[in-house]
Amino acid sequence: MHRDHCLMVLGMHRSGTSALTGVLRQSGLYLGAALDSAIPLNPTGLQEAPSVLHMHEDLLNANGGCWHAPPDRVTWGKLHCAVRDLFIESRIGTGLWGFKDPRTLLVIDGWIEVLPRWSAIGIFRAPQAVTRSLMARNGLEEAACHRLWHAYNSRLLRLHRLYDIPLIAFRSDAQCDPGRYRPGPDRYGADPGHRAAGRGHSQPRQRGGRGQRSGRPVGALAGFAGRGPCRGMSGSIPR
């Protein structure tokens, strides 16, 4: 019998997380009730659990921030922990389940400390593409978008290095080939039928996170992140 195992989809806003999560859902990942109605810029919906989305935003607010102004540190309150724990409890018996919310990158420590078995997959998009999208969708200033990209993706890169989380470079909805992800969520280290009992990826890796499956995307993300939040963000992700 397969043990319950959580797969978290990690990535910032406007970076392909919805497209990737939708494909993983079609491949068998259990999401439960999710926002899957078409909306402008997201034809397949956000693929997010409303309870997690609203809990995360309230958690950021309680720490003096929000999704577009990440706080330096996040302390989970009792109510936020209760919502999280009930959400995890509701997935008992579902086997391989997951969730996606870009805010997860800002609050992930509170998930890692309680999930019995988990894996993650990260996706990122070139900073200039994210900046254009956020400016058009949210009216944010260009410099603010650059800072936001750096805030989210520096966290993603850190998690990759700690836990060897595989990364995908996303170009656009039209170029995100679902066929690449059809083998299912187990391709990304979430195979509950073959993993020994324990906490899955919860123990940091010791080898620096240079996974063969994601070497070129890692180099691209590290290169972008190394430029800093407000310096030149031109260029494209290597093919």
Strand partners, 90: none
Identify whether the C-beta of residue 103 lies closer than 8 Å to the C-beta of residue 75. no
- Residue with the bigger pLDDT between 91 and 39: it is 91
Identify whether the C-beta of residue 4 lies closer than 8 Å to the C-beta of residue 91. yes
Identify whether the C-beta of residue 4 lies closer than 8 Å to the C-beta of residue 117. yes
**CA-CA distances (angstroms) from residue 59 to 32, 143, 149, 171, 191?**
22, 25, 20, 30, 31
Instruction: Check residue 218 and give its pLDDT.
Output: 63
May I ask the CATH architecture of the domain 5-226? 3-Layer(aba) Sandwich (3.40)
- pTM of the entire structure? 0.74
Q: How many CA atoms lie within 13 A of 217 on its CB side?
A: 24
What tens digit of pLDDT does each residue of 50-77 get? 889 999 999 999 999 999 999 999 999 9
What tens digit of pLDDT does each residue of 173-212 get? 444 444 444 334 444 444 433 332 234 544 444 333 333 3
What tens digit of pLDDT does each residue of 106-148 get? 999 999 999 999 999 999 988 888 888 888 877 778 888 889 8
What tens digit of pLDDT does each residue of 94-117 get? 999 999 999 999 999 999 999 999
Strands 5-10 and 96-100: parallel
